[in-house]
Structure 1
């Protein structure tokens, strides 16, 4: 598979966007995803509104390194936030040249979520951005089939996070059944068969909240590099040929032990090895 490798901000969320661009370029990535809006309550935001000093700094670093911004994150549709809240996020993404906005389906009212997402998709068109719903295993919208229905109803895309796909019991057949082009980004990571029992980190980047939840601790603080766990990553890649890849592996303990640069280089090497290793068929593995 001939794919470039992007870096999701969550892999090094303690780095500001301009710092992330430089670190990603040094580690060999070709694109980045950037957090322009908080994902959790109480999370400290980066000042990334369109026209801000940090946005301008980020654009300078992108120009100097040749990297691109593929996606920005993250906007949660919770049933209360609407156009007044998402418009600045779209503006921030457009200023960076992003084509995808990561959206979380946090509204348990599916009809209202569908209406809100349709309005967001419509508003995003003028910015050249496709809002892409990310099924998350501990959110109301947690499955690929549910996300696939929203693609047909609203024109949104899907952000496929390998961790949440596995933790929600996703099937490769569900990916194959999606409309062509529905998945806009694959977020690569790995993990054990079951959610591990992890301690709550003594410090989370930007003060993210994990709520004492094992799944949230794993998701935000301790994932494995591609190829180091048991997730069906080669099968996912084979089911979605040509879909851009972004490595999303937060590991607060690895960063503390080895440093950010070593962590990001390790993730890039691991992802490159995975992508360069073709999926073997049943016949090949038994011959």
Structure 2
């Protein structure tokens, strides 16, 4: 069971580690920007790694890296009309692939998530070549690169992510299943059943209202619900993923909510753990003692 970092954002990473341990999680993800500016991020990584080890929390994933793709200006104008999305994309892009790989090494992570944040269409072959190069850079470090589709990204659904991963021929590649992204991209259980065995390396659980917001980026970054609070068919999705999960699949909440930001981190971590536990058990994953 992993606590995806966005669930407790923008709390400092140290506070999130304590909350994760108290709630019963055994793993947590971090973002490169959790460690400050790019020129100082590795200095802070060592102290975070020591704290995580003391709390028996595995910092399993660095999430996300975006600099694996060419600078977006090379692909023409950026189509997103959301200034916050553009701002986040620019922030993510400050952290180079090499810095993110070194950060993962310092933290003892095994996984890095890759996204395309702007909605820029680079063309399939450019994306495949870039993803293949990222996976090759990570392979010597024993890292898995998992591609995360998002409906406001040019890698907008699981089918698109699957084509990229398959065409890259990378052995250390996987896909993130996020229940919010899946529902808002029009995903169906049949599409999950068409995925090859073992390709899903992470599951991010969250829920949403029946009607999607006009601005998907705004909804994704402020209005997600705990699993079971909304209208998504999460149980059906979990059942459809049977056989598609990697042996070491990470599963847990990524519930990014403006309401939760007003609550204590210990409380949010606990209710998120409790809400996700039945789905983790349904998936048949080894989630450790409960």
Match of 1:122 among 132, 136, 161: 136
* Mapped partners of 2:39, 2:30: distance in 1: 12
Contact 1:36 1:49 in 2 (8 A): no
Which residue does 2:101 correspond to in 1? Answer: 90
Partner of 1:80: 71
Cα pair 2:124 2:164 within 8 Å, conserved? no
Distance between the aligned counterparts of 1:101 and 1:134, measured in 2? Answer: 10
How far apart are 1:78 and its partner, in Å? Answer: 4.1
Q: How does 1:9-24 map to 2 (within 5 A)?
A: 9-24=5-20
Counterpart mapping for 1:173-192 below 5 A: 173-192=190-209
Q: Which residue of 1 aligns with 2:218?
A: 217
Q: Is the 8 A contact 1:160 1:186 kept in 2?
A: yes
Partner-residue secondary structure (3-state), 2:152: coil
Q: Aligned-pair distance for 1:24?
A: 0.7
Q: Structure 2 vs 1, CA of residues 100 and 195 (structure 1 numbering), >3 Å: closer, same or farther?
A: same
| SS of alignment partner, residue 52 of structure 1 | helix
Once the two structures are TM-superposed, the CA of residue 196 in structure 1 deviates from its matched residue by 3.5
Rounded to whole Å, the distance in 2 between the matches of 1:65 and 1:251 is 26
Match of 2:186 among 153, 166, 169: 169
Which consecutive residues of structure 2, in runs of 5 or more, have no partner in the other structure?
Answer: 73-92, 285-290
Report the counterpart of residue 166 of structure 2 in structure 1: 152
User: Residue 282 of structure 1 corresponds to which residue in structure 2?
Assistant: none
Match of 1:267 among 272, 275, 288: 272
What secondary structure sits across from 2:176 in the alignment? strand
**Which secondary structure does the structure 2 equivalent of 1:244 belong to?**
strand
User: Following TM superposition, by how much is the alpha carbon of 1:89 offset from its aligned partner in structure 2, in angstroms?
Assistant: 0.7
Distance 2:59 2:149 in 1: 22
Cross-structure match for 1:239: 240
Stretches (4+) displaced over 4 A? 47-51, 276-279
Q: What is the 5 A alignment of 1:247-258? A: 247-256=253-262, 258=263
Are the structure 2 counterparts of residues 139 and 184 from structure 1 closer, same or farther at C-alpha, using a change threshold of 3 Å? Answer: same
Structural mapping, 1:186-205, within 5 Å: 186-196=203-213
TM-score (norm. length: structure 1): 0.80
- Cα drift, residue 158 of structure 1: 0.6
Q: CA RMSD for the aligned pairs?
A: 2.4
Report the count of equivalent residues: 251
